[in-house]
Structure 1
């Protein structure tokens, strides 16, 4: 039985214990004040980093808003205190909406000597530098600065944090780790278990000191610009679970041998490196491997059957390598497989011979190989498939009806095969389908009306033999964003187009569509980017209804029967890059207000009924980034547009070496993975060419077949990055400007069928890129320049002039005189031509006979 005295002592103990606990939970006034001062450095606004918080399942909110003066800082959001010492030992401000810079003299660096864990990930520190004062946290074991907009050089003092077991500096664009920082970091962090430097610019060989980090479990050096040979020993670190060196394009190596099955590797990423060689049979010993990504490398040879031993495998990607042969049937043993990508290789055989018939498979990418035979029979267990890509193979036969048994299928890519027959209506009614591409096959017949779900967003039926009236029901799809029907024989009008309220890209080129464009065209969807109606039978005028808030980037109406004026509301298309109205019946003056479209790169008005002079621009910089101007085959008059030649900056001083080779076009918006290439029909080097892709560095001016008059201005020599210039078939007079010699990138020059006089400037020999020259049908005289490209041009380049002489003309004359005699006579008669004709007018037979 407990006495009253014992109960009293027990009560005193409990009171003391409670008071002690309460006291231990209170942080010091010094640390509380320091944290509140730290708070004052930031504003709190959501940033793009917060989207990643949602992706990773982290709740995003401004944690610092709970920090109030007079309250215990150990109770604040993101603060962890030691219950015994009351010291702050953990600070987690990830996904806290922080906007601002961390100053080197910030209070946080000087009042928290016991800090062990610091997480500032997913914030916006304004591309500021990482302070060297982070080294004050000498007890730090975990440091996470991922996705927080840090930049500049990683201070070498970070390597002094020798107690770190986890360091994450990933996804900070512009952050770099210069020598000897990488070497010191690896040498000093001997206790490190997780090291993530993804997208930190290291620009170095891989340090062999990594082999000493025997505690490593996670190593991510992706996109670090590493080069040289990757040490094989890193693959064999005893505790390594995850290794990623993705995106180091200059990093070499081979897939290592795994002699025994004790490797703990579960996640291995080698994609987008320069790794090469064959996959060894010992790959089958990686019993723990769950994810293998080895896409876009230089691996070759056949796939070992031992790959089928990796029964824990969930994701396998070996796309875009040089693998050959047949895929082993042992892949069907991978019963846990969710993602399989073998596309972009040289595999052959029948798909059915290896197709893994596993219930878990969601994503199957086997396009761009040499698989043949009939469309494969999809096993009954593949009903969970979400994406199926069989494109760019040699599959034959019609679409099998069993596809209708894939209720979860969202993406179906069957383009570039030999599939024939018709498109059954049930394809469009697959309940989850949002992407359907069966372009470039041998499909025939009519497309029947169909009922569809609300998901279908992308439909590409281009390059087939489909014909007949296109069913209007497709325009009723509420989410239809991309519709590509080019190069078929579809017909009918677009009367239902206004129902397609979600359209972003519409490509109907090379068909037989007719009628007028609906009035709703310019204002029914703010996100309408591409309208491509070229090579059809459309007619009527273009609706003058383009709204101020529109997103058009390409409008291509080439080769139709459109007429009337160019709608003035096109001036509202501020994002327009390509405008092609060629080969129609437009009758209008030059639409000078197009100069206001500062994004315009291509303007084609060729083969219409445009007329009158091109007025002198009142803008300071008209057409600032125009690359292609084609006004040919119209009725323009007056002088050449000198002001444009002065200001076409995209054709001047272009450093092509610094340009990334890209094509004009765009991707589908709203996350739709689709690319549209702009196509142009243009005269290049005397031949009409349909350019299916247009490099952004392509530049040309074609003003031919008009009634331009006056001289060619010297200022045209500023366009030193232009590749093609055609001023032929006009009424231009005067001399050929010597400034044309500045156009060193020029590949073709056509000044034929004008009234140009004088000599061919000898300076034009500097045009070493010139492949086609046409100066015929003018009034030129004198000796033809010799040397460089002029030695390659034939007689057709010069015929129809008054008195040109020299090769190649001498080699085509039937006159038995020697070339030197021919040259002297021609040049003499050319020099005195005015005087000789005067003598002829006075009846001087000698002069006439001399000329003859």
Structure 2
């Protein structure tokens, strides 16, 4: 019997190959030839590596050989009867080259499925050749580097069931082509078009997708530049299960009117322009497992109806304007794995008891107004991997940890206090721990138990003991990032010498003094990639030239001597606000990888190094407040990726070269407070991204006239040419083209101009208010000023200035301007300071100016104005010095009465000083009283200069603004009513 079984098995194995081959059809000869010719038109690309592809290099066509059956080739399938090729799958096939419209691939007329995803068909278009494959039901060209306009003949693929053209950067789907395609492909179930350009497609055309009401199951249009109002009927197609409209910033819809499809399983509306309250109707989509409403403008409270979504696994509501408390129903969802409600305005405590969340892995509630103590379940939930509660108002001590699954914990920027519990040091899986900015205490050596820890951030907490260099047993062998900022350290911790894998180090805001130790040269064995030693008291630089780091910040110290040599691979290098001296030329040229270079507020001398102009990746160059001399090298105007150039406060000379700058990305140019001479550099007007132009306090002369008649300075928001020798009429042609000063986004809030580089660098600017120069270390995106003061301009004030509605500051003082104050100034509804002093203005002060509710500082002194000073609103707060030197003015606050009528005295309360305002010196209170930007300016001065006498007088001049603000708000409310 055994022999028989063995004999049978041998016979079966012998005949099996021929039996199997008899089941595989013989490939059609023409199809085989077409495939071989298609293969030979490409060369496998060994270097073409995709993260999505495993393995990295896999030439799928390797098995395609002449004389073999193509139906057995990798990625090829044939009809079992006819032998025609009906399917090709070359996903991650490592193909590179151009797919021509006459490619033999398009000769395969029986082809039903074609997948060319994750290859490199660069410079190829989705041409009319695809339209020859009329039998196609499935076409996937995603992430395959096609680009250009999609062929108008794609509508011929009328049998398509699935089309995936996602992730084809530079590919355009035009409206006419889209409309034809929708009308002819009636059986489509899957349409995936992520990140192709559909900006020309109108909402009315997009609504044609309802033609698929009986078939469409998956629709993904992420990042397609869609705009306008989306038809609500598109959102409730009866069979739709997957819907992704994320990252269409200008796409709107009225969700409150949507009757959602109950079949939806996946809904992603991230980063669109949705607003209003979140409708309770979301609770009707009971099949949902994925819901992303993040990065929108939703307001109001989170609906309690989310608790009905019993199958929900992921819920993202972050980066909205949501208020109120977290509904307890969220904490009863048993399938939920991720809950993200960060970056809102949520208040109140987190529920102490939960009935669900047994599968929760990720909890993100950072940057809200949550308070109370952190509930114990956050420390004990066995499934939890990541816990982010930073940027709230939690109080009390950190609880005891009883679950050790956590890998990342961020409790920073709260009001936690007490000792860090010992149980935290038993979390052996912890990779990231951030406890910064709390009133916590800890013995630092305890962290040595966390062996696999990569990132440890302990800024602004109480470290015990401070003598870290004595803790010889301390070690964190896998540490990549360490922050001990503001921990009152007085020297370099010696244990840093043992951190062999360290990449990121922040020792800023400490009291470290003395020389940089010699072992610091080898910190991390040459692998350190980030160093921050700002706000220390170092007296010598040491030698950092051999460190292979990419980020160095030594700013705000007392460093002396020459500039430390930045290593060759450094990307970020800042040593601002020190006492460094010497010539830059021979010591900076090694750092050709620099992206941000900040050497400001030092005592450097000599000329600007030519080599800086050769740094191809440099986006920020800040050399302000030094003693640099000479001209700006012409090669600086060749830097194509430069976004910020700040050279003010040096001794640079000119004139500027008459060149066509290649600064197509430049946003900030500040050459103020130098000795540059010559005419106005009108060639700057064509820079498309320029927002800040400062030429103040130089030796420029002549008239300011433009080269073009339109599209001059299209985005300019700060224009400062004050304290020069310009003459002639005010630059009306430029002013009427300042589109960036006409409108402002009131929803910007307190956002600052920040470099687009991955490193955080905030642009700065100097402004003049009431005769004082104030440096703003950050520029608000809503900050808009026009300063033409201290020149020799003459003629009348252009009426067009009244159209610059976003203007916050206007200074035309110390010129020879004549004529009246334009009535059009009433349009400057955001104006916070106005200085027209020391001119030759005539006529009366327009009564309409009393409607400028934001006006905080007014100076009309030393002119030839006449008549009665307007009263009411803000004008009840301005004192004598706003009007002095105008002999023909009369009325309060001047002592000279008007002859035409007896002025009624103002309420004495208008001049009373608010005691809390004067004693508290709070920037917030000042901002409330005097306008947002002006308040921030004044608050900054207070904290930086520590209440100088002139500032006390300054504050006294505007102290009554609190009452004025209240009156104006009441007036506005009554007016609206």
Q: TM-score normalised to the size of structure 2?
A: 0.65
Compared CA separation, residues 360 and 645, structure 1 to 2 (3 A): same
**Range 249-258 or range 187-196, more displaced:** 249-258
Structure 1 contact 760–784 (Cα < 8 Å) conserved: yes
Q: Please state how far the C-alpha of 1:234 moved relative to its aligned partner.
A: 2.5
Cα distance, 1:488 vs structure 2: 3.2
Separation in 2 of the partners of 1:41 and 1:516?
A: 64
Residue 531 of structure 2 corresponds to which residue in structure 1? 531
Partner residue of 1:641 out of 587, 605, 630 = 630
1:493 corresponds to:
492
Aligned-partner Cα distance in 1 for 2:791–2:613? 41
The alignment partner of 1:51 has SS state of coil
1:291 aligns with 2:290: yes
CA distance in 1, matches of 2:67, 2:356: 64
- Asked if residue 70 in structure 1 is aligned to residue 59 in structure 2, the reply is no
Distance 1:810 1:240 in 2: 72
SS of aligned partner of 1:371: strand
Query: Structure 2 residue aligned with 1:630, among 616, 623, 627?
Result: 623
* Aligned equivalents of 1:615, 1:113: Cα separation in 2: 66
Residues 749 and 24 of structure 1, relative CA distance in 2, 3 Å threshold: closer
Match of 2:134 in 1: 138
Q: For residues 186 and 497 of structure 1, what CA distance do their matches in structure 2 show?
A: 63
SS in 1 for 2:175: coil
Q: CA separation of 1:279/1:173 partners in 2, compared to 1, >3 Å: closer, same or farther? A: same
- Of structures 1 and 2, the one with the larger relative CO (CA 8 A, separation 6+) is 1
Q: Helix, strand or coil for the counterpart of 2:197?
A: coil
Whether the 8 Å contact between 1:595 and 1:623 is mirrored in structure 2 is no
**In structure 2, do the counterparts of structure 1 residues 350 and 543 end up closer, same or farther at CA, with 3 Å as the change threshold?**
same
Equivalent residues of 1:89, 1:114 under 8 A apart = yes
What does 1:690-839 correspond to in 2, within 5 Å? 697-704=643-650, 712-715=653-656, 723-725=669-671, 727=673, 737-739=678-680, 746-747=693-694, 749-750=696-697, 760-762=725-727, 771-772=767-768, 791-792=812-813
Question: Aligned residue for 1:120?
Answer: 116
1:195 CA drift (Å): 1.0
The DSSP-based 3-state class of the residue aligned with 2:153 is helix
Tell me, yes or no, if the aligned pair for 2:340 and 2:365 is still in contact at 8 Å. yes
**1:161 counterpart (157, 177, 186):** 157
Q: Distance in 2 between matches of 1:150 and 1:62?
A: 19
* Distance in 2, Cα, partners of 1:310 & 1:618: 61
CA distance in 1, matches of 2:613, 2:534: 33
Is the 8 Å Cα contact of residues 439 and 464 (structure 1) preserved in structure 2? yes
CA distance, structure 2, for counterparts of residue 624 and residue 408 of structure 1: 42
For residues 13-42 of structure 1, the C-alpha deviation after alignment (integer angstroms, 9 at most, x for no partner) is xx9xx8997386211222222211111122
Q: Which residue of 2 aligns with 1:9?
A: none
| Compared CA separation, residues 486 and 526, structure 1 to 2 (3 A) | same
SS in 2 for 1:89: strand
Q: Report if the CA contact (8 A) 1:468-1:490 is conserved.
A: no
1:617-642 CA deviation, whole Å, 9 max, x = no partner?
589868995754437466x7xxx322
Q: Name stretches of at least 5 consecutive residues in structure 1 with no aligned partner.
A: 1-14, 660-695, 753-757, 777-781, 795-804, 821-852
Pairing 1:563-582 to 2, within 5 Å after superposition: 563=561, 565-567=562-564, 569-570=565-566, 572-580=567-575, 582=577
Secondary structure of the corresponding residue to residue 308 of structure 1: helix
Residue equivalent to 1:415: 412
Contiguous gaps of at least 5 residues in structure 2: 1-14, 686-691, 700-722, 736-740, 742-765, 774-789, 798-809, 816-837, 841-859, 864-879, 889-977
Work out whether residues 98 and 125 of structure 1, in 8 Å CA contact, stay in contact via their aligned partners in 2: yes
Cα pair distance change 1:160/1:810, threshold 3 Å: closer
The answer (yes or no) to whether the contact 1:258–1:286 under 8 Å persists in 2 is no
- TM superposition shift of 1:746: 4.5
1:60 Cα deviation after fit:
6.5
Change (3 A) 1:533 1:113: same
Q: Residues 772, 764 of structure 1: CA spacing in aligned structure 2 closer, same or farther, 3 A cutoff?
A: farther
Counterparts in 2 of 1:163-242, with a 5 A limit?
A: 163-203=159-199, 204-206=201-203, 207-213=206-212, 214-242=214-242
Change (3 A) 1:349 1:700: same
Is the CA contact (8 Å cut-off) linking 1:249 and 1:273 kept in structure 2?
yes
CA displacement, residues 434-472 of structure 1 (integer Å, 9 cap, x when unaligned): 222222333346534432334322222224455752646
Q: Deviations over 1:159-217 (max 9, x none)?
A: 21111111111111111101212212221111111111111211123422211211111
Q: Deviations along 1:270-298, whole A, 9 cap, x unmatched?
A: 11112233333343332211111111122
Taking the aligned partners of 2:571 and 2:591, their CA distance within structure 1 comes to 7
The one of 558, 583, 593 equivalent to 2:578 is 583
* CA separation of 1:817 and 1:614: change in aligned 2, threshold 3 A: closer
- Taking the aligned partners of 2:48 and 2:434, their CA distance within structure 1 comes to 32
Rounded to whole Å, the distance in 2 between the matches of 1:168 and 1:626 is: 37
Mapped partners of 1:626, 1:237: distance in 2:
47
Q: How does 1:301-450 map to 2 (within 5 A)?
A: 301-353=300-352, 357-378=356-377, 382-402=381-401, 405-424=402-421, 426-444=423-441, 447-450=444-447
Partner of 1:681: none
Residue 371 of structure 2 aligns to a residue whose secondary structure is strand
Classify 1:466/1:650 alpha carbon distance in 2 versus 1 (closer, same or farther; 3 Å): farther
Residues in 2 aligned to 1:582 and 1:380: alpha-carbon distance in whole angstroms: 43
Relative to 1, partners in 2 of residues 1:81 and 1:233: Cα closer, same or farther, differing over 3 Å? Answer: same
On the 8 A contact 1:154/1:177 being kept in 2, the answer is yes
**CA positional deviation for 1:771:** 4.4
1:302, 1:326 within 8 Å by CA — same for their partners in 2? yes
Q: Alpha carbons of 1:149 and 1:602: their partners in 2 closer, same or farther (altered >3 Å)?
A: same
3-state SS of paired residue (1:180): helix
Given the alignment of the two structures, is residue 83 of structure 1 paired with residue 76 of structure 2, yes or no? Answer: no
Q: Give the secondary-structure state (helix, strand or coil) at the position aligned to 2:178.
A: helix
Task: Tell me the secondary structure at the aligned position of residue 493 of structure 1.
Answer: coil
How far has the Cα of 1:646 moved from its partner?
3.6
- Does the alignment pair 1:106 with 2:90? no
CA contact (8 A) 1:508 1:534 kept: yes
The 1:575–1:153 alpha-carbon spacing in structure 2 relative to 1, beyond 3 Å, is farther
Larger mean CA deviation between 193-202 and 516-525 belongs to: 516-525
- Give the match's secondary structure for 1:25: coil
SS, match of residue 450 in structure 1: helix
Please give the alpha-carbon distance, in whole angstroms, between the structure 2 residues aligned to 1:385 and 1:379.
Answer: 8
Cα deviation per residue 1:569-589 (whole Å; 9 max; x = unaligned)?
A: 53x5254443425423x4544
- Look up the match of 1:250: 250
Instruction: Give the Cα separation in 2 of the matches to 1:806 and 1:792.
Output: 6
CA pair 362-622 structure 1, distance change in 2 beyond 3 A:
closer
* Residues in 1 aligned to 2:421 and 2:270: alpha-carbon distance in whole angstroms: 38
| Rg (Cα) greater in structure | 1
| CA spacing shift, 1:581–1:211, aligned 2, 3 Å | closer
Do the aligned residues in 2 keep the contact of 1:363 with 1:388 (CA within 8 Å)? yes
CA distance in 2, matches of 1:280, 1:107: 53
Conserved 8 A contact 2:612-2:636: no
1:96 aligns with 2:89: no
Task: Tell me the SS of whatever aligns to 2:51.
Answer: helix
Q: How many residues align?
A: 712
In the TM superposition, residue 88 of structure 1 has moved relative to its aligned partner by 1.0
Distance verdict in 2 for CA 1:633–1:605, change over 3 Å: same
Whole-angstrom distance in 2 between the partners of 1:208 and 1:721: 39
How far apart are the structure 2 equivalents of 1:539 and 1:401?
43
